[in-house]
Amino acid sequence: MMELLERQMLVMKLMLVLMRDRRAKQGQVRSVGYIREYGEMPEEMGVYTLGEQTDEQLIALSEQIGVKKRLAAGKSDIYMNDMGYALVWTQAPVVCIAETEVKELAKLAQQLELTEMVEAAVTWHQGQVYREELVVISKANDEAAPYAKRNESWQKLIAHWWCKGDAKEPSRFPADYVLQYEDALNMNSWDIYEPQRYVELMWDRIEFHYDPAADKLSVIAGAAGA
């Protein structure tokens, strides 16, 4: 049985294929795929029918038309009209940066001309007294932590790492946009944003998880629908 998030993600991808095939929204979606164009949905498949599929049926359908999971180095979950999209379900947290060495974030910050704000965060953490093996969690809007004072710079860095690439190279599969959905089967619950704008909207739900022993940082946004 699939996890709920996995099922929602798969249904969302299949809905975009269905949207292409049925020329919904005046045929706005011309192409849907990942690496290559996905195949066509069965003629009898509609929105209601898709929602009634079991996990096993969804998996079989996705294999039939060639739906792919995000590649390890990829930032996008799907390509629509030749643009990459990161898919975000409102009922699940968003991991923007996962257990990344601070020095790697500092390298990217330097490339983006944002060095000062990472140095300020490092200096702040160095001045704290930590218990061994304790991960320190700071809310993005906490004025006592170093992130709120430089929120625009951090938002730019987070958006780039999450959707464009790391300090070493741009991702071969970047996300040009973020597609947020509350209900994959209801197009009226979908919204599309540019990555940095979406990080701005998530800001009050973002937490910075710093591991002083490993000198690593994770950036996680709580679920929008929580």
Tens-place pLDDT, residues 52-94 = 999 999 999 999 999 999 988 899 999 999 999 999 999 999 9
Are both 55 and 122 inside the same structural domain?
no
Task: Give the chain's mean pLDDT.
Answer: 91
How far apart are alpha carbons 171 and 169 in whole angstroms?
6
Are both 39 and 147 inside the same structural domain?
no
24 vs 174, higher pLDDT: 174
How far apart are alpha carbons 190 and 181 in whole angstroms?
4
Q: What is the extent of the structural domain holding 118?
A: 94-175+196-221
Kindly state the average pLDDT of the residues 195-216.
Answer: 93
The answer, yes or no, to whether residue 126 has pLDDT greater than 70, is no
Tell me the β-bridge partners of 137. Answer: 209
Kindly state the average pLDDT of the residues 156-177.
Answer: 94
Are both 101 and 207 inside the same structural domain?
yes
Are both 18 and 111 inside the same structural domain?
no
Are both 132 and 204 inside the same structural domain?
yes
Question: Two tokens at 19?
Answer: 């949207």
Are both 124 and 203 inside the same structural domain?
yes
Are both 12 and 65 inside the same structural domain?
yes
Phi then psi for 42, rounded to 5 degrees?
Answer: -60, 145
pTM, 2 dp:
0.92
Cα dihedral across residues 58, 45, 177, 173: positive or negative: positive
Strand order in the sheet with 136-139: 94-101, 216-221, 206-211, 136-139
Are both 156 and 201 inside the same structural domain?
yes
How far apart are alpha carbons 103 and 105 in whole angstroms?
5
Are both 146 and 216 inside the same structural domain?
yes
Q: How confident is the model at residue 133 (pLDDT cuts 50, 70, 90)?
A: low
Task: Indicate the number of domains in the chain.
Answer: 2
